[in-house]
Structure 1
Amino acid sequence: MTKIVMVSGSRSIMNISPGMQSLNRIMELNFSIILGDASGVDKLVQEYLRSQNYPNVRVYFALWSGNGKPRNVTGFETVGVQGSYSDRDKVMCSVCDYGLALWDGRSRGTRDNINRTERKTKIIRI
């Protein structure tokens, strides 16, 4: 069974180079990657994975009241989750085996994901 890694991170981050070694290792292991559709880390990681032609990626987005649609998606399969961004993040945390957080030290959403996944997340402070 393929392991699933949830990548999360701060919207304020505009350079993911500190996380490249971890992303490359995830791809070497052929793990599935799930992530959100926000600007910042989500979008940058998607762009990097697309540039590497990495196929095992799913982008989660919030459906809100059923009218939500994905933002910042670079052609990967999408998964809609009923509710808000927080609800989307909770679902991703519940299905992942591991996490990778690229965090600015301030983002509450990334901090909440780190707390939800407990010890199974590697944190890279940027």
Structure 2
Amino acid sequence: MAMIFLGGSRDIFELPGTVIERIGAIVAAEHGVLIGDAPGADAEMQSLLAGYNYEHVGVFHAGPEPRNNLGDWATYHIQPLEGARGFAVHAEKDREMARRADFGLMVWDGASPGTCLNVLRLAGCGSPCVVYDTMRGTVGTVHSIADWHAMLHHASADVRREVEARMTADERLALEA
């Protein structure tokens, strides 16, 4: 069973039809799903999976309890790094999902630095990631760091700066490899 990291921007509250179809294919193939507990795309994807009564789902969370677990699935508490604040509280759970995943499927609004970094984390692990860019209306697969750079090329300078600011030293090293 392949493990698929599903995720996306917190500002996405309606999944594109192609994403709904792709998640249906994941369910039909009985792949494992790794998903976060955030509002937005994570919760929308959880809702879809719960509607299928799909069982092969693990919900990763940084807080004491998941913010969303719409299918009452197994949960995995990933402790944030000491002193983590803001976005960094949830980054360690995202890194863990990327490490465990064979593939990724991300819904990106062209602005979310967290989603963009998850695509980088998957590429750094050698796991292909299908990216649905809702801002540009495109779909592409990121296989490598070079593909990730091409994806990020379309983002604004502000988004690129925010992504850079959120990177760990290891993530920066991955860019140089």
Given the two structures, how large is their TM-score scaled by the length of structure 1?
Answer: 0.92
Q: Secondary structure at the match of 2:24?
A: helix
Match of 2:66 in 1: 70
Residue 47 of structure 1: aligned partner: 47
AA aligned opposite 2:44? L
**Equivalent position amino acid for 1:89 in 2:** D
Matches of 1:28 and 1:48 in 2, distance apart? 13
Q: Residue 59 of structure 1: SS of its match in structure 2?
A: strand
Two-structure CA RMSD over aligned residues (Å)? 1.1
Task: For 2:130, give the aligned amino acid.
Answer: K
Matches of 1:30 and 1:51, distance apart in 2: 15
Shift of 1:72: 1.4
The residue that corresponds to 1:116 in the other structure is: 121
- Structure 2 equivalent of residue 30 of structure 1: 30
Further displaced range: 97-106 or 12-21: 12-21
| Larger radius of gyration between Structure 1 and Structure 2 | 2
Calculate percent identity across the aligned residue pairs: 29
Gaps of 5+ in 2: 81-88, 135-177
Displacement of 1:17 after TM fit?
3.0
The separation in 2 between residues aligned to 1:52 and 1:62, in whole angstroms, is 26
| Residue type at the aligned position of 1:42 | D
Answer 1 or 2: higher relative contact order, Cα 8 Å, separation at least 6.
Answer: 1
Structure having the larger proportion of residues in helix: 2
The alignment's TM-score, normalised by the length of structure 2, stands at 0.66
Structure 1 residue 92 displacement after superposition: 0.4
Q: Which has the higher strand share?
A: 1
Q: Mind listing any 5+ residue stretches in structure 1 that lack a counterpart?
A: none
